[in-house]
Amino acid sequence: MLLVLLFWIGLAGTHQVQHHSSTRTDRRVEPCFVDDAVAALREALQTDGALSNSSFTLFGACRAPDPSSRFTLLVLSEERRRWPDGGLKVLHPAAVFAAEERGVVTLTFDLPASSLLEMNLLLLLLAFESPAAAGDLEVTFSSRFLLPHSQSACISEGTLYVLLMGRSSSSSSQHRWTISAEAKSPRMNQNLIDAIIGGKPGGPVGVRPLLLFTGEEGINGSRPASFGSSGVPVQTSFVCELRRFLEGVLPQDQAKQPLLQLDSLQSLPPLPLGLSSSETLLAALINSSAPTIFYFNNWGSKSQGLRGQLILSPALLVELRLRLEQSEMLILDLAEQETVSPRTTARLERLKDLSASQQMEAAESHFCAFLLLKALKTVAHAYDMTKRLRSTRAGPDSPPKGNICGLRSLTVSFEKLLLGPQSANINNCRGVCSFPLINGNNHAILLTSHTESVAEERAPCCVPVAYDPLEVLDWNDEGSFLSIKPDMIARECGCR
């Protein structure tokens, strides 16, 4: 089976404007865009090849009377049953063009010469960068390269992908595909243009196509890698899976926050993480309970060849695995309580498999296991803090408690990172300081007594008196480093 993925990036289109692909850097796209799309396909199909409940909306499948897009999903599901251990191979088209005229969007892309293009069954997957806006957009895609030549898709809120059936390209003249897209309702033409073309007039097209092959043996008789592999290095796939895991498991604050720069924070000198890292340092990091921000901000496509490495002694490796097992139990408990997405446990299992992959050297495997432990401890810290904050809220039998000095949630958002988390709950202290004082010292006690008779003096304030640090792990062209940001997360409050 051949899957063709088109990644839509832009938002605006113009009448009779042609866009040409060009080199561009986008953190959303590089280097996880292939792996993200493969993961969406993998997670849409359950282990038995059946379709999950949310698959139809996610992949733009139309309801009756036009079942073409649903049929394509069923074909993919059947392929999953036939090849449960099948894999994916990737080809990149050489160029992409997009044009719009009178509400019809035309896409043209060149396919690289490959014998894989002669396979009988092809799927065209159109992947949008962000979920579609509210509203229904029914689209007809037409091309002699589709089978049948005209197929429908229904794009609605929650749709990220559109699946279409294609046919093989055996002759050299068929190495350039042209596909037109038209809204079935003329009043929705502009919505279609906005969703597909993107960019400014004359700018680069907002489309990124990929050819993915799965299921059948290759022309040379070799089987592809395990299903869901995106053809990228194992460590890259691990990092991308770790990002998806964190996005799905960490508590989310929907409120929009101003983006803060991590570089603006005070920090202890960065600690290099590599083959020369001391056992004392690694032991301290393994046993640290501080949350971690994975600041892979400059980790782009050129960095995919980088290999993070750590050498753990047998004793440290045993300690690491013990901590991983303990942290894993928390995730399983959260899943049982339905606190996290059902996909969380599957992603965790995949992370464990990737960190133990035989395709990596031992030092790379140790590095990935270390990243996984730091991620799980970040999750543990977040949910432990949530419980502590909940305990400080007023109950139905003690309403005054909510106005007493205590810890409150405060979430801040960071600049866009490849991995994340994109935000952190640093907490804050709010409430009234009155007798009996919360964590008050002698100065606060005397100040409270004094201000009862002298109004000009300030009364004690509710402020943080104890903090947790935040660890920041960066992996860039120069290697991997861990920085400790002290006094970052308010842990206790007091009256001062």
Count of Cβ atoms closer than 10 Å to residue 214 Cβ: 24
pLDDT band at 368 (very low <50, low <70, confident <90, very high): very high
Residue-wise pLDDT tens digits, 387-421: 877 776 654 444 545 688 999 989 888 876 667 78
Given this model, what pLDDT does residue 212 score?
67
Given this model, what pLDDT does residue 305 score?
55
Q: What rounded mean pLDDT belongs to the chain?
A: 76
Between residues 172 and 324, the one the model is more confident about: 324
Helices 279-287, 362-392: crossing angle, 10 deg rounding: 40
Q: Per 3-state DSSP, what percentage of the chain is helix, strand, and coil (rounded to 5)?
A: 35, 25, 40
Q: For the CA atoms of the chain, what is the radius of gyration?
A: 27
Given this model, what pLDDT does residue 192 score?
77
Residue-wise pLDDT tens digits, 285-321: 999 999 999 887 666 545 555 678 999 999 999 999 9
Which amino acid appears at position 430 of this protein? Answer: R
**With the C-alpha atoms ordered 156, 228, 348, 271, is the resulting torsion angle positive or negative?**
negative
| Of 155-159, 262-266, 441-445, 484-488, highest mean pLDDT | 484-488
Mean pLDDT of 203-210: 60
CA 275 to chain centre: 28
Mean pLDDT of 252-279: 84
pLDDT band at 250 (very low <50, low <70, confident <90, very high): confident
Q: What is the dihedral of CA 157, 88, 417, 196, to 10 degrees?
A: -40
Distance separating alpha carbons of residues 30 and 37, to the nearest angstrom:
12
CA distances from 374 to 214, 323, 473, 481, 483 (A): 34, 10, 9, 14, 13
Phi, psi angle pair for 138, to nearest 5°: -95, 125
Given this model, what pLDDT does residue 80 score?
59
CB neighbours of 64 closer than 8 A, spacing ≥ 6?
none
The answer to whether the CB of 375 falls within 8 A of the CB of 246 is yes
Residue bearing tokens 């008196």: 465
| Of 66-75, 87-96, 351-360, highest mean pLDDT | 351-360
Distance separating alpha carbons of residues 465 and 489, to the nearest angstrom:
11
pTM of the model: 0.80
Given this model, what pLDDT does residue 24 score?
36
CA 332 to chain centre: 20
CA 127 to chain centre: 15
User: Which pair of tokens denotes residue 453?
Assistant: 């008779």
Between residues 70 and 10, the one the model is more confident about: 70
Q: Which CATH code is given to the segment(s) 235-495?
A: 2.10.90.10
Phi, psi angle pair for 132, to nearest 5°: -65, 155
Indicate where the chain has its CATH 2.10.90.10 domain(s).
235-495
Which amino acid appears at position 322 of this protein? Answer: L
Mean pLDDT of 55-75: 72
Residue 372 has pLDDT above 90, yes or no: yes
Residue bearing tokens 């992370």: 351
Residue 31 has pLDDT above 50, yes or no: yes
Given this model, what pLDDT does residue 488 score?
93
Residue 220 has pLDDT above 50, yes or no: no
Looking at the chain, the whole-number percentage of residues with pLDDT higher than 70 is: 69
Residue 381 has pLDDT above 80, yes or no: yes
| Of 254-263, 304-313, 354-363, highest mean pLDDT | 354-363
Q: Count of alpha carbons within 13 Å of 482, Cβ hemisphere only?
A: 20
Buried b (16+ CB within 10 A) or exposed e, 378-388: bbbbbbebeee
Given this model, what pLDDT does residue 69 score?
63
Residue 27 has pLDDT above 50, yes or no: no
Given this model, what pLDDT does residue 236 score?
82
The answer to whether the CB of 356 falls within 8 A of the CB of 365 is yes
Between residues 316 and 203, the one the model is more confident about: 316
The answer to whether the CB of 185 falls within 8 A of the CB of 209 is no
Residue-wise pLDDT tens digits, 72-131: 777 666 665 665 545 566 667 777 777 888 888 888 888 777 776 666 567 777 777 656
pLDDT band at 180 (very low <50, low <70, confident <90, very high): very high
Angle made by CA atoms 9, 423, 475, in degrees to the nearest 5: 75
Residue bearing tokens 């003096």: 457
- What is the full DSSP assignment across 430-481? ESB--SSPTT--HHHHHHHHHHTT-TTSPPP-EEEEEEEEEEEEEEETTEEE
Count of Cβ atoms closer than 10 Å to residue 305 Cβ: 9
Given this model, what pLDDT does residue 208 score?
67
